[in-house]
A and B are shown apart, each in its own frame.
Chain A
């Protein structure tokens, strides 16, 4: 006919128990999923790498150096390439990252206007890397550069 009545306190206790149990399982699964999808980041230490010979630098344009290194991309080995602009400034040198500070596109040197230009959203930088116009929030990132007197190589820290 009808179920034997369960005392109200016990019923609400059971309700809480079931909800708490389900929440526990849910939290466990969410925790696992969260841990799995959060990438493991290994900080790669910067090191000095030869980018150009000092004799490579053209007189009136920056030198475009492409640095390649082996790079573990998940389970497969690939090559990671970074592009750096190297310029002679007085007695020293200047190295600029070719990655636009706006949204990360690759900027290119426009010799006719002596400007770095980003093809994506029209950011323009002068030869020192400072923003001339467009959306970039700051100038091109500078990269440490030094001359190795033994090899006459210009080395960048990247």
Chain B
């Protein structure tokens, strides 16, 4: 033991670590400093998780449009513990945002922003923005549909800024379009620019906190003033442990599944931002036309400016809740407004967000498993079986390949002309590959699926089925309530006999009577 103490004495003489430890841990806290004061260290805990999981994710992630999506899928499905890792990083981001806001609310209600702590309040607000910037830049990285379209909206919002808008949008994109340059740039900001800014600001925040001390309870309490360690540190650790277990439980299921890879042309994708931006998303809807800048920039800007000026707007004599009631009621009203907007935004669920395969995708899945693809895509064939999860070629390449399977490099020779059915089948195959790529297993081939192929070929151009289809004819969901099987067969076989002025073409000569009967039965079940 004497030897150990000797080593520490020697070290202390040269580094002064005992003084440092004393300075860091033995700070006396005001009496009554309690559980409310654990949010700050919980935030540090959350950020630490983000740094560790983020570093591990970066070991597998490739920030290029042709590999980003695949590398994230690889992390989720192949890397040992990858699902948990991505889950921790995803839910950890939410934890950080929630804790930062709770910390802010605590500071407001306890009046901790008041003199002489005004500057630390401002530093804290800047930190909140750094955290949101982490969330925004990280959101693009998986390069799936959700990521792509959320970024389209973000960059277009930045364009609304007066004078500098176009320049800012250009800087954010890194070029004329969202693409490779945007991804590398946002990745660099996410992993190289923001972290040192975060560390620096946290250092400043803690330095200022120590300089003025913890503000403590609203009304100073008499009693023993205890040191941070181990009393408050014990509370901090307890909270971190409880929240950490909850986070791990949430992350055990992984992050939300990847959506199909980014596709700038898709018109059926309905973008939604991450939940903590849903309030802003909802706000945008209420400012039409030239007023959009109000919802997108002015209003959020005014709210943030008012928050930043809070220490100077507060003219109350004391920190007491009663003395500050007007200010606190305004703040609470603001919180209610933001919460309401967020809830409204969350309730605005896109129609096609279902996990099921739509009728076109079902048709494609059947064609993929029974059609001519299997001629070459076979375990013993020239090309190996198709595994949608591993199709890394862009949609346009696959489309060309489907038109002319020999055309491995598109553009070498013109595509053969195909009939209408083949065109519909190809659309179905592309839809199935896109859906299958996000990892949902191919539905098995059954009679339902075979009818989906028929429906996709002949009906979907004019009739809506769920989220897709043409709108020249009526929707066929719930058609059974309007017509019986015999009527439906007649309608499909010879519609002009039923309604001479109708525009629906007859299918009596295009489909066998067995197929028409099966199609009618299938439709009646929809």
CA distance A81 to B177 in the complex (A): 11
Instruction: Determine if B65 and A73 form an interchain contact, defined as CB atoms under 8 angstroms apart.
Output: yes
User: In whole angstroms, what is the CA distance A63 to B372 when docked?
Assistant: 30
A73 to B184, CA, bound (A): 12
The interface residues of chain B lying within 8 Å CB-to-CB of A75 are 180
B292 interface residue, CB < 8 Å from A?
yes
A137 touches B292 (CB 8 A): yes
Instruction: Tell me if B223 counts as interface (CB < 8 A to partner A).
Output: no
Contact, CB under 8 Å: B156 / A103: yes
Pair B180/A39 contact, Cβ less than 8 Å: no
* Docked-complex contact A105 and B152, CB < 8 angstroms: yes
Closest residue on chain A to residue B471 by CB atoms: A111
Is there a chain A Cβ closer than 8 Å to B23's Cβ?
Answer: no
Q: What is the CB-to-nearest-CB distance from A124 to chain B, in angstroms, rounded to a whole number?
A: 11
User: Which stretch of A2-10, A87-95, A114-122, A150-158 is in the interface?
Assistant: A114-122
Expressed in whole angstroms, the Cα–Cα distance for A40 and B174 within the complex equals 8
Give A41 Cβ to nearest chain B Cβ, in Å: 6
Q: Name the A residues within 8 Å of B270 (CB-CB).
A: 119-120
Residue B355 is within 8 A (CB to CB) of chain A in the complex: no
- CB-CB under 8 A from A39, the residues of chain B are 170-171, 173-176, 181
Q: Mark A102-134, 1 if CB is under 8 A from B, else 0.
A: 111111111110000001111000000001011
Also in contact, A106 and B266, with CB within 8 A (given A41-B175, A121-B284, A135-B288): yes
- Asked whether A119 and B350 contact (CB < 8 A) given A39-B173, A104-B156, the answer is yes
Q: What residues on A are CB-neighbors of B64 within 8 Å?
A: 76
Min CB distance B323 to A, Å, is 41
| Complex-state Cα separation, A38 to B325, whole angstroms | 48
Is A19 interfacial (CB-CB < 8 Å)? no
Q: Is B285 an interface residue (CB 8 A)?
A: yes
Question: Known contacts being A37-B171, A41-B175, A74-B175, is A68 close to B285, with CB within 8 Å?
Answer: no
* Bound Cα distance from A73 to B174, whole angstroms: 10
The answer on a CB contact under 8 Å between A103 and B284 is yes
B509 interface contact, C-beta 8 A: no
Q: Are A79 and B394 neighbours in the complex by a CB distance under 8 Å? A: yes
Q: Give chain B residues whose Cβ lies under 8 Å from the Cβ of A16.
A: none
Interface string of B31-42 (1 = CB under 8 A from A): 000000000000
User: Taking A61-B471, A83-B265, A106-B265 as contacts, is the C-beta distance between A136 and B176 under 8 angstroms?
Assistant: no
B288–A68 contact, CB under 8 A? no
Majority DSSP secondary structure for residues of A touching B: loop
Residues of B close to A78: CB separation below 8 A: 65, 179-180, 394
- A134 partner residues in chain B, CB cutoff 8 A: 285, 288
- Closest residue of chain B to A111 (Cβ to Cβ) is B471
Give the one of B152, B266, B295 with max A CB within 10 A: B152
Distance A67 CA – B286 CA, assembled complex (angstroms): 33
What is the distance, in angstroms, from B38's C-beta to the closest C-beta of chain A?
Answer: 39
A73's closest neighbor in chain B, by CB?
A: B179
Decide: A37 and B287 in contact? CB cutoff 8 A. no
Q: How far is the CA of A112 from the CA of B472 in the complex (A)?
A: 7
A103 touches B185 (CB 8 A): no
Nearest-CB residue, chain A, relative to B160: A103
| Assembled-state Cα–Cα distance A61/B264 (Å) | 23
Q: Residue B271 at the A interface, CB < 8 A?
A: yes
Whole-angstrom distance between the Cβ of A76 and the nearest chain B Cβ: 6
A136 touching B288, Cβ below 8 Å: yes
Taken together as a complex, chains A and B put the C-alpha atoms of A78 and B175 apart, in Å, by: 14
Residues of chain B within 8 A (CB-CB) of A98 are: 267
Across the interface, name the chain B residue whose C-beta is closest to A70: B411
Instruction: State which size class the interface on A falls in.
Output: 35 or more
Q: Does B289 contact A131, Cβ atoms closer than 8 Å?
A: yes
Please tell me which one of the listed residues A105, A112, A133 contacts residue B153 in the complex, with CB atoms under 8 A apart. Answer: A105
- Cβ contacts under 8 Å, B287 to chain A: 135
Q: With A76-B66, A83-B265, A108-B268 given, is the CB distance from A41 to B176 under 8 Å?
A: yes
Q: Pick from B153, B181, B470: contact of A103, CB below 8 A.
A: B153
Q: A119, B284: Cβ atoms under 8 Å?
A: no
B192 smallest CB distance to A (angstroms): 12
Task: Digitize B455-469: 1 where CB-to-A-CB distance is under 8 Å, 0 elsewhere.
Answer: 000000000100000
* B252 CB–A CB distance under 8 Å: no
Residues on A with C-beta less than 8 A from B269 are 106, 119
- Is residue A66 within 8 Å, beta carbon to beta carbon, of the partner chain? yes
Contacts of B471 in A (CB 8 A): 61, 109-112
Tell me, rounded to whole Å, the shortest Cβ–Cβ distance linking B251 to chain A.
29
Known: A73-B65, A122-B285, A134-B285. A106 touches B267 (CB 8 A): yes
- Report Cα–Cα, A106/B181, bound state, in Å: 22
Q: Quick check: A60 and B179 within 8 Å, CB to CB?
A: no
Known: A39-B171, A73-B181, A105-B271. A44 touches B176 (CB 8 A): yes
Minimum CB–CB distance from B180 to chain A (whole Å) comes to 4
For A76, give the chain B residue with the smallest CB separation. Answer: B180
**In the bound complex, how far is the Cα of B177 from the Cα of A108, in angstroms?**
21
CA distance A62 to B70 in the complex (A): 36
Q: Which residues of chain A are near B175, meaning CB under 8 Å?
A: 39-41, 73-74
State whether B157 touches A103 (Cβ < 8 A).
yes
**Which residues from B are CB-within-8-Å of A111?**
470-472
Assess whether B396 is interfacial by the CB under 8 Å rule: yes
A64 nearest CB neighbor, chain B only: B267
Contact with A along B177-204 (1 / 0, CB 8 A): 1011100110000000000000000000
Contact residues, B264-320 vs A (CB, 8 A): 264-271, 281, 284-290, 292, 295
Closest CB pairs A-B (n = 8): A111-B471, A74-B180, A73-B179, A119-B270, A81-B265, A103-B156, A104-B156, A108-B267
Given pairs A83-B267, A102-B284, 13 additional interface contacts (CB within 8 A): A39-B173, A60-B472, A71-B177, A74-B174, A76-B64, A81-B396, A103-B153, A108-B268, A111-B470, A119-B270, A120-B149, A120-B153, A135-B289
